[in-house]
Structure 1
Amino acid sequence: MTASPLDIRVQDIDHCGIVAGICDEMELVEQINRLLGSHPQEIINVGQVVKAMILNGLGFVSAPLYLFEKFFIGKATEHLLGEGIHPEHLNDDRLGRVLDKLYSFGLTEVFVTVALSAARKFGVKMDSLHLDSSSFHVDGDYTLQTPIDIEVQRAGRFLLATNVLDASELSDDDVLIEYKAQQSTERGFRFLKDPLFFTSSVFLNSPKRVAASAMIMGLCLLVYSLGQRALRQALDRAKKTIDNQLGKPTAAPTLRSVFQCFMSIHLVSVAQSKQITNLTSERHWILNFFGAPCRKYYLLC
């Protein structure tokens, strides 16, 4: 029997399956719910709302970021977030209340708890923490006494400090290496300044919600960085490459280029049967280097 058009549903997945899989591997939803609590009668719990915000934040749509239900219209919302969850459940009121709840609990505690747990799961070494002192300043009037002082000032010297005082544990060269490694982290924050992250004023109507939204953007960066790192490590272990946007092989792809490669992938549901369309051999090859939590959204495991 041929299926009626009414029995066929086509929904977008694109790269959202990769983002959702990384969130799952981090146990993001479980971590958030453990901190803020959940109720069995909730259609969508706090952790799932935060996951939805991250999916939206890393959607890289060609329009300002709107954290509300319109982003999920046409997407495989239930497949990505959980059974029974539909776009209308991600309305401004629900998102606003979740932002309020995150702020009331403590944004720093939420972020640090999630980040430390994710770092452990992804095997990220935490040998050092960087303190950005760019906001530190000294008040007062100072006069350069000699031409030597002027030349020192022109040289643009700066101070690197550490609380590890044992030189055998951390040498001066090691301090400099750690400082230079900070650049990779700072580059990651560039996309937080992207116009795509211009959030809707509909529900960001208070400083508390603005602050909570900034924390969500930090979680977006965390998910993005962990996903990119895991992909590059998998390629390195396998001694394999994937093609970049120019069609040239690379072992160090950006996650954004992978996202762009996954445009126009759909979940097709016919009665009780589901299948993924447009999963080309190239896309299938790329997914080999992501974990099972990502591949399951493309029905590969």
Structure 2
Amino acid sequence: MEYSSKVLDHHGIVAGVCREIELAETINRIVGVNEQQKVSTGDAVMAMVINALGFVSKPLYMFPDFMETKPVDRLFENGLAAEDFNDDTLGRALDKLYENNNTKIFMEVSMRTLSNMGVKRNFFHLDTTSIRVHGEYEHSDEDMVPIEIVKGHSKDGTFDLKQYLISLITVSESDLPVWIDSLSGNTSDKTHFREIIQHYSKALAEGDEVAYFVMDSAMYTHKNVRELSGMVKWLTRVPESIAMAKDLLIEIDEDSMTISEMDGYRLKSSLKTYDDVEQRWVVLFSKDAYDREMKTFKKNIEKESEKVEKQLWHFKNDEFKCEPDAVKALRQMEGKWKYHTVDEYKINKKKKTGKRGRPKKGSKAVKTIYLINATFKQDDEAMEASRLRKGKFILATNDVNLDQEVILREYKQQQSVERGFRFIKDPMFFTNSTFLKKPQRIVSLVMVMGLSLLVYAIAQRKLRNALVEMDETVPDQLGKPTKRPTMRWIFQKFENISLLNVNDGGKTSQQVLNIKPVHEKILALMGEEYEKIYFLRGGCGK
């Protein structure tokens, strides 16, 4: 009798979601199937998604080793084996995705899935993030290069490595991604946001539903406000650098605002016209944000006071040709201070002979110089204006009838796209740096990242909805019952589940080991097809 085992863990859940949304079938329908190719593009992509959600951070050249330890016959239904997933297979799949417009492929998968799930698509959250890369990425001018791998201002503050950007759109419900693409490393959000909405807003919207695009303050430029307002409804944060916004933040005090339905906020809305576009502006106040910002504010005042004191100490030794030059230089320096101003100054006029040391009696002066000695004080007016803006920010939309509570709620849901980026950058799923050597394959890998996020979010939504509908719970990390577990935690709960293969004189059988009641419960909640992958039958709570 011979025994062998494979690592099943949570991979059966991932495979189950891929089957449920018909991931491989949808991709194959778009890119086509080569009958001489044992592994279709769709199956290769499904394998990469399983790998991406497998708690490993291995580049694709390590992929065959990953598949070797998995029960491929349980995860795939078409007789594939681990050795079929080699480097060439995956490389061809990435190339095929790129050749067939990977972004549109992703949209086809996501739109079809969300429609089947009944997910509303009216508020879309759009943002970008940077991904660091290793390698030279050299190409000739004749190459059709999809993105430029360049050094750019990384959103994590670094500038030493080359990078590309990922652009992501999610819907509010369950952080589900609906669109993803890769961009050159020096792409500006200000122009990118406008271009994406111009090209894809109609495809993303659901029928005649009004589509709202939620973005950060980079969207709020003269050109974007004018051009996008004729196409879609938008919601964004107004930059404080705009004079009208700065004045409004000072003008609206906390006592004149109403308490929001969302804990910790007060709000007040008004109609404003900016760039000839009528808008609803909502001023928000958060006491927690005010307390945090005031601590920083006081520290900044102290730092500037020390800086100004040193500047004036050195400045008193600077020589000027005339009194107006000295005063002009002082005012220029004062103009760079935020919270301080010149209190008094005194001009000292001196004559110089051009020789070192004390001039001798009777020596003639060669030139006259002017020195200025100044003192400073806090600028109470500037400090008060700054204090009045603390804890406040302004949200704007071109839908003047949109309720202010909805405006706040949907802007806070911008965290859904940020959570998507954290997922993609999480070393438990993907490495934060990319090792592929072809820009074309990086573009396709970004699509695989998006599909992995989609599968993860669907699994999490499916389990949470089932827990609510069945009025059930599962233990969280502390062992307490919850109806909102993260799928990451659920995946970890499935560690050490193995598939045992037994060969008894030519008669083979399989058995899943280490399945516990909590696993049976989770799989029952996920559905019968998920139970089948783990050789289970029965309903919830078996």
TM-score by length of 2: 0.49
Q: Which amino acid aligns with 1:51?
A: M
Distance in 1 (CA, whole Å) between partners of 2:26 and 2:388 is: 50
Q: Displacement of 1:155 after TM fit? A: 6.0
Q: Residues 69 and 87 of structure 1 are in contact (CA less than 8 Å); yes or no, is this contact kept in structure 2?
A: yes
Mapped pair 1:246 → 2:478: yes
Where do 1:1-301 residues align within 5 Å? 4-5=1-2, 8-61=3-56, 64-67=57-60, 68-131=63-126, 132-133=215-216, 135-136=218-219, 157-162=393-398, 165=399, 167=401, 170-196=402-428, 197-198=430-431, 201=435, 204-270=436-502, 271-301=507-537
Q: Displacement of 1:14 after TM fit? A: 0.4
Q: Residues 231 and 290 of structure 1 are in contact (CA less than 8 Å); yes or no, is this contact kept in structure 2?
A: yes
Distance in 2 (CA, whole Å) between partners of 1:125 and 1:149 is: 42
Q: Residues 122 and 226 of structure 1 are in contact (CA less than 8 Å); yes or no, is this contact kept in structure 2?
A: no
Secondary structure at the residue paired with 1:276? strand
Structure 1 residues 151 and 248: alpha-carbon distance in aligned structure 2, compared to 1, 3 A threshold: closer
Distance in 1 (CA, whole Å) between partners of 2:483 and 2:108 is: 31
Determine which structure has more spread, i.e. the larger CA radius of gyration. 2
Give unmatched runs, 5+ long, in structure 1.
none
Distance in 1 (CA, whole Å) between partners of 2:29 and 2:414 is: 31
Secondary structure at the residue paired with 2:441? helix
TM-score by length of 1: 0.85
Distance in 1 (CA, whole Å) between partners of 2:525 and 2:495 is: 18
Distance in 2 (CA, whole Å) between partners of 1:181 and 1:72 is: 37
Q: Displacement of 1:175 after TM fit? A: 2.4
Q: Residues 80 and 297 of structure 1 are in contact (CA less than 8 Å); yes or no, is this contact kept in structure 2?
A: yes
Q: Displacement of 1:85 after TM fit? A: 1.6
Q: Displacement of 1:137 after TM fit? A: 6.9
Give unmatched runs, 5+ long, in structure 2.
127-214, 223-240, 248-380, 538-542
Q: Residues 19 and 294 of structure 1 are in contact (CA less than 8 Å); yes or no, is this contact kept in structure 2?
A: no
Distance in 1 (CA, whole Å) between partners of 2:422 and 2:113 is: 21
Structure 1 residues 138 and 276: alpha-carbon distance in aligned structure 2, compared to 1, 3 A threshold: same
Distance in 2 (CA, whole Å) between partners of 1:175 and 1:125 is: 17
How many residue pairs end up in the alignment?
287
Distance in 2 (CA, whole Å) between partners of 1:194 and 1:160 is: 32
Q: Residues 9 and 496 of structure 2 are in contact (CA less than 8 Å); yes or no, is this contact kept in structure 1?
A: yes
Distance in 2 (CA, whole Å) between partners of 1:277 and 1:193 is: 32
Structure 1 residues 102 and 239: alpha-carbon distance in aligned structure 2, compared to 1, 3 A threshold: same
1:205-261 CA distance string (max 9 Å, x none): 111111211111111111111110110110001111011122211111110111011
Q: Displacement of 1:70 after TM fit? A: 1.1
Secondary structure at the residue paired with 1:279? coil
Q: Displacement of 1:152 after TM fit? A: 7.5
Distance in 2 (CA, whole Å) between partners of 1:159 and 1:36 is: 42
Larger deviation: 208-217 or 141-150?
Answer: 141-150
Q: Displacement of 1:21 after TM fit? A: 0.4
Q: Displacement of 1:173 after TM fit? A: 2.4
Secondary structure at the residue paired with 1:157? strand
Distance in 2 (CA, whole Å) between partners of 1:71 and 1:200 is: 18
Secondary structure at the residue paired with 1:160? strand
Structure 1 residues 161 and 265: alpha-carbon distance in aligned structure 2, compared to 1, 3 A threshold: same
1:39-72 CA distance string (max 9 Å, x none): 33321111111100000000013xx233321111
Q: Residues 51 and 81 of structure 1 are in contact (CA less than 8 Å); yes or no, is this contact kept in structure 2?
A: no
Q: Residues 241 and 251 of structure 1 are in contact (CA less than 8 Å); yes or no, is this contact kept in structure 2?
A: yes
Q: Displacement of 1:156 after TM fit? A: 5.5
Identity score, percent = 40
* Bigger share in strand: 2
Secondary structure at the residue paired with 2:4? strand
Structure 1 residues 149 and 110: alpha-carbon distance in aligned structure 2, compared to 1, 3 A threshold: farther
Q: Residues 497 and 513 of structure 2 are in contact (CA less than 8 Å); yes or no, is this contact kept in structure 1?
A: yes
Q: Residues 265 and 277 of structure 1 are in contact (CA less than 8 Å); yes or no, is this contact kept in structure 2?
A: yes
Distance in 2 (CA, whole Å) between partners of 1:24 and 1:152 is: 55
Secondary structure at the residue paired with 1:24? helix
- Structure of greater relative contact order (alpha carbons < 8 Å, 6+ residues apart): 1
Q: Residues 189 and 221 of structure 1 are in contact (CA less than 8 Å); yes or no, is this contact kept in structure 2?
A: no
Q: Which amino acid aligns with 1:43?
A: K
Q: Which amino acid aligns with 1:223?
A: V
Structure 1 residues 133 and 200: alpha-carbon distance in aligned structure 2, compared to 1, 3 A threshold: closer
* Bigger share in helix: 1
Q: Displacement of 1:150 after TM fit? A: 5.9
Distance in 2 (CA, whole Å) between partners of 1:210 and 1:86 is: 26
Q: Displacement of 1:279 after TM fit? A: 1.0
Q: Residues 125 and 416 of structure 2 are in contact (CA less than 8 Å); yes or no, is this contact kept in structure 1?
A: no
